[in-house]
Amino acid sequence: MRRIEIEIPLEPTGQVRMRRHPKSLRVYKPEIQQRRESQLLYYIMPHAPEVPWEGPVAIDLTAYLPMPKTWPKWKRDCLPFIMPTKTPDVDNILKQIKDVMNGLIYSDDKQVVRVTAHKCYGQPKWELLITELDGFRHDISKQQYAELSERRNSLHQ
């Protein structure tokens, strides 16, 4: 089982929606999104395997968001018990990081079969654990299936 652990010292942000040019109706990625992706790539590239993974992948993501500066001291002291329910949405944070790792860590984000993601307050950063799940096959043959079935049946007797 191969694993990659990455800590990215940037404030987590959500994926920005694609825009449509009003005259040409051409769809494009906003400049701010392109900048964010290149910043994330800077931290992910050194951890990338030589060849993107082909099998099923699990992603564990923790997004640490900055606490509001307007909070009083008593509220800051309660930090472990207060969860951020404001933007960015955890699914938008996840979508952004999955898109950046697409073709770099794994061949396609359709390979992501398990996700654990949460956000909390703390020093702004992303913590990622990407795991290639061994023993799970997406391209099994009939013969391999028969062998696995026999093995499973023998274990349950």
pLDDT over 70 at 18, yes or no:
no
Question: What is the rounded distance in angstroms from the CA atom of residue 43 to the CA atom of residue 64?
Answer: 16
Closest to 66 (Cα-Cα) out of 49, 81, 79, 56: 79
- Which residue would you say has higher pLDDT here, 79 or 75? 75
- Which positions ≥6 away from 30 have C-beta within 8 Å? 16, 18, 19
Q: Record the tokens describing residue 36, joined without a space.
A: 């964010």
pLDDT (tens digit, 9 = 90+) per residue, 98-148? 999 999 999 999 999 999 999 999 999 999 999 999 866 666 677 777 877
Superfamily the domain 3-155 falls into:
Holliday junction resolvase RusA (3.30.1330.70)
pLDDT over 90, % of the chain: 60
Strand partners, 8: 126
Quote the distance between the C-alpha of residue 36 and its chain's center. 15
Give the mean model confidence (pLDDT) for residues 66-81: 88
Indicate the average pLDDT of the chain. Answer: 88
pLDDT over 70 at 96, yes or no:
yes
pLDDT over 80 at 63, yes or no:
yes
